[in-house]
Structure 1
Amino acid sequence: MSELFFDIPIEKYQTLSESERYVLKYIVKHINEIPSMSIVKLSEEANVSTATIVRLMKKIGYDGFTSFKYSIKDLTKTVNSENSIDMIEKKINTAIKKNEFEVLNTIKMLSLGNIEDAIQKIHHAEKIYVFARGFSEMIANEITIKLQLLGKNCEMHNDPNIIRVISKKLKDTEIAIFVSLSGETKELVDACLNLKMKSISTITLTAGVDSSLANLSEIVLLGYKGTQSFFPDYEVRSRLPLQVISRILLDAYVIRMF
């Protein structure tokens, strides 16, 4: 920023008195402090009169010290804003890469065989129950609505007690779909265990590779969950891997069956 003051035309600079040139050099040297200084403070710090400062301002093209100070403040904001934008863009790019990485790795982890098995189970089931808790409920609800639109008898449940009770009543002509990022939601694990004991088919969408649900479920569609979270203090991790899986599963179902 100090270079701006050396752009003063030589003819103007030559009109400055020795004390005015001294003030100008002082301002350049302390440019970051100037926006918060009053003319009286500058006068004291530079050990010159306020009149000298005012004369200097007029000679370099300003109405007074206040207008000069505002121009410096605006310039400082611009520079800081550009630096802030650069930092923000880097952080946003990190978020973009994180999501891209999760999507690509989830797709790589999907097994065509498992997708085909899941399609067949859904197609032949007389009724489908979709179980989920927390943020996974949004994906479970979408799965339910789309299957209903495709003519399937399907319902979704998110209440812990109802999930446990219903899991004990499923028939062998029905199936259950579990949606859980961690694969460790207790009521879902309990329900899956109930169904396994009755040899009822289950499909699980999860990012928990070695989770309880993954180990109990008949068909597991695994997604990739990154370790980085922008909400580390809360359990609100993105369900993007599960969204990718559910979309691929339902698109594949339509392709195969219609």
Structure 2
Amino acid sequence: MPTKELSAAEMHLWNIVENNPKKIAKMSIVKLSQYAHVSTATIVRTMQKMGYSGYTSYREALKLKNNFSSTFNVLNEADDKIRSVITKNEIEMNNTLHNLNYSTIEDSISMTKQAKIVYIFARGLSESIADEIMVKLQLTGKYCEFHSDPNIIKTIANKIKPDSLVIFITLNGETEELVSAAKILNKRDIPILTFTTNPSGKILQFSTLVFMGYKSKTNYFPEYEVRSRLPLQIMTRIFSDAYSVRSGFFKNI
């Protein structure tokens, strides 16, 4: 039973998803929006009224309830070792999407809109992800800077103005210069948006909003710190694409 009464549009949507479980289980929220001729906001509201945190949690519950297979055709052709590599990435992707919080996405968009300047700090392999976010935000007209040099990061942290937003991209949330900068910014009441995969990372205590991804324990390069950045890539892409939509830069959804 719904936790709240459904509107006509919401009831229309709910009837569609209930009557087409196999088809719905494979659809993204955008595809469902097009299929049912309702907005993505209507989908989210409907799922929340029906007791789910959002569309992703509903779809995961649907798969479990009906025991739908989420495997890919390539898994049928791969040997055990390659299959484990593919499955690892699938698990990281699915669990990261499951961790997403709708209000965090909307709040991060609002903070970005309000900021006159957006600073992005990242180190190591996360730098390419930071560079991609910077380019995408700049394309929407937002003034944005990306810094990776540890000395510059610490210096700038003391000079950033309150009307700015700082985005940290850090896989483990423990990188010393990033944590130090976040601590400085926190004391100065500068809003911080963090993308990470470590729920125990030191940087979390200084962050205003956090996107928490899922990191697999498996590392195919054990002698080096080159763990998968897939969770960070998924979350930052969702953030930047959602910002583009909400800012009116992309109008085809």
Q: Which TM-score tier does this pair reach, normalised by the shorter chain?
A: 0.5 to 0.7
C-alpha distance in structure 1 between counterparts of 2:77 and 2:247, whole Å: 49
Larger radius of gyration: 1
C-alpha distance in structure 2 between counterparts of 1:215 and 1:106, whole Å: 21
C-alpha distance in structure 2 between counterparts of 1:180 and 1:130, whole Å: 11
Amino acid at match of 2:119: Y
What residue ranges of structure 2 are gaps of 5+ in the alignment? 1-75, 249-253
C-alpha distance in structure 1 between counterparts of 2:199 and 2:117, whole Å: 27
Per-residue deviation, 1:201: 0.3
Per-residue deviation, 1:89: 2.3
* Number of residue pairs matched by the alignment: 173
C-alpha distance in structure 2 between counterparts of 1:214 and 1:106, whole Å: 17
Amino acid at match of 1:114: T
CA RMSD of aligned residues (A): 1.4
Per-residue deviation, 1:87: 11
Alpha carbons 2:154, 2:180 under 8 Å: kept:
yes
C-alpha distance in structure 2 between counterparts of 1:111 and 1:184, whole Å: 23
Establish whether residue 154 from structure 1 lines up as the match of residue 144 from structure 2.
yes
Q: 2:116 aligns with which of 123, 126, 149?
A: 126
Per-residue deviation, 1:256: 1.4
Amino acid at match of 1:148: Q
C-alpha distance in structure 2 between counterparts of 1:214 and 1:139, whole Å: 19
Establish whether residue 142 from structure 1 lines up as the match of residue 132 from structure 2.
yes
Identity of aligned residues (%): 46
TM-score (norm 1): 0.65
C-alpha distance in structure 2 between counterparts of 1:213 and 1:170, whole Å: 18
C-alpha distance in structure 1 between counterparts of 2:139 and 2:77, whole Å: 45
Q: 2:240 aligns with which of 233, 242, 250?
A: 250
C-alpha distance in structure 1 between counterparts of 2:247 and 2:140, whole Å: 10
C-alpha distance in structure 2 between counterparts of 1:185 and 1:166, whole Å: 17
- Determine which structure has the larger helix proportion and give its number: 1
Establish whether residue 93 from structure 1 lines up as the match of residue 83 from structure 2.
yes
Superimposed CA distance per residue, residues 76-105 of structure 1 (whole angstroms, 9 cap, x where no aligned partner): xxxxxxxxxx99722111010000000000
After superposition, the Cα gap between the structure-2 partners of 1:135 and 1:220, relative to the gap in structure 1 and judged at 3 Å, is same
Superimposed CA distance per residue, residues 116-169 of structure 1 (whole angstroms, 9 cap, x where no aligned partner): 110001111100000000000010000001101111100100000000000110
C-alpha distance in structure 1 between counterparts of 2:232 and 2:137, whole Å: 16
Superimposed CA distance per residue, residues 2-51 of structure 1 (whole angstroms, 9 cap, x where no aligned partner): xxxxxxxxxxxxxxxxxxxxxxxxxxxxxxxxxxxxxxxxxxxxxxxxxx
Alpha carbons 2:140, 2:247 under 8 Å: kept:
no
Alpha carbons 2:169, 2:195 under 8 Å: kept:
yes
Amino acid at match of 2:90: E
| Aligned pairs (5 A) from 1:224-243 | 224-243=214-233
Q: 1:116 aligns with which of 98, 106, 117?
A: 106
SS of 1:135's equivalent?
A: helix
C-alpha distance in structure 1 between counterparts of 2:203 and 2:106, whole Å: 20
C-alpha distance in structure 2 between counterparts of 1:239 and 1:229, whole Å: 11
C-alpha distance in structure 2 between counterparts of 1:108 and 1:214, whole Å: 20
Alpha carbons 2:192, 2:207 under 8 Å: kept:
yes
| Aligned pairs (5 A) from 1:1-258 | 89-258=79-248
C-alpha distance in structure 1 between counterparts of 2:149 and 2:78, whole Å: 40
C-alpha distance in structure 2 between counterparts of 1:251 and 1:177, whole Å: 16
SS of 1:244's equivalent?
A: helix
C-alpha distance in structure 2 between counterparts of 1:87 and 1:139, whole Å: 32
Superimposed CA distance per residue, residues 161-200 of structure 1 (whole angstroms, 9 cap, x where no aligned partner): 0000001101110010000000000000000000000000
After superposition, the Cα gap between the structure-2 partners of 1:92 and 1:172, relative to the gap in structure 1 and judged at 3 Å, is same
Runs of 4+ in 1 over 3 A off after TM superposition: none
